[in-house]
Amino acid sequence: MMKGRNLVILLGIPTWLFLIWKGDVYYTLFILICMVLALGEFYTLMEKKGNKPLRWMGMASTVFIADYYYVQPAITPHEMLGGMILIIILTYIWELFSKKENSGNNIAATLTGILLIPVLLGTSIDIRQFDLLMSTQLTLTLVLAVWACDSAAFIFGTMFGKKKIFPSVSPKKSWVGSVSGFIAAMGVFLLFHYQGWLGSYFSLNDSIVFGVISGVFGQIGDLIESLLKRDAGVKDTGTLLAGHGGVLDRFDSLIFATPLTYLYVHFLMHY
């Protein structure tokens, strides 16, 4: 297990960083593959609760949503919304004729998976395209900030953490670890800002907002995934990444931090 864990670290992290550097279609395909795998793991969690989500609908929707984030504005928001409307209607119609039990739960599991993973995590494709357009390094900084947050929270929480945040959801997560993770995430964004690595497009205030998003909401994403795993009665979402769990385990923080970053960049920044 330790050999597999170390192999994932030695190969996985450099590969991820290399694909961030390459960007464009290379990073898009990487995120698409990760979303397909993560969605499959999410549906497996739902199946453990007796639900039967429409996997093919979720996977087809993932490709469509990833394509939207990559090629916009070639695909307009109206076309994106139209596609989502068709996905919802087809999901209900398919379930109508499937003759399965727990139809409401099956539909809810299918659509929740689409909203949670490709809709939210897919924003990372848009942000990397934004980096390419505006000569920024937001994708790299965000990923490093989330990694720093997770690492600091684990190290200091293990060493000094006594008072727990949500013991009913994640018994090992402590306030000391959480605060340490927040400081680490903020430190990464401030370092990149003052060194000029983040890009001249972003101000100090922007960097602070990004630090809050990655340091606070990234941890909330981790807790929410822990909630789902505890509800399904599993320790990890999968076994693909030896010693690291599943793909969903590795992207849980980014599933919340990335879309909030996307909303800030496109709707709130400089207003």
pLDDT at 211: 98
Would you state the structure tokens that stand for residue 237, as one six-digit string?
């979402």
Q: Going residue by residue through the chain, which has 271 residues, state the pLDDT in tens, using 9 for 90 and above.
A: 444 555 566 777 889 999 999 999 999 999 999 999 999 999 999 999 999 999 999 999 999 999 999 998 888 889 999 999 999 999 999 999 998 889 999 999 999 999 999 999 999 999 999 999 999 999 999 999 999 999 999 999 999 988 989 888 888 899 999 999 999 999 999 999 999 999 999 999 999 999 999 999 999 999 999 899 888 888 877 666 555 578 898 899 999 999 999 999 999 886 5
pLDDT at 3: 46
Q: What does the alpha-carbon distance between residue 20 and residue 26 come to, in Å, rounded to a whole number? A: 8
Would you state the structure tokens that stand for residue 14, as one six-digit string?
């450099």
pLDDT at 74: 80
pLDDT at 5: 55
- Among 7, 31, 267, 249, CA closest to 139: 31
| Secondary element (H or E) of residue 206 | helix 204-212
Give first-to-last CA distance, the chain, whole Å: 49
pLDDT at 93: 96
DSSP 203: -
Place of tokens 């739902």: 46
Look up the pTM and report it.
Answer: 0.92
The residues pairing with 174 across neighbouring beta strands, listed in sequence order, are: 164
Please tell me whether residue 51 adopts helix, strand or coil conformation.
Answer: coil
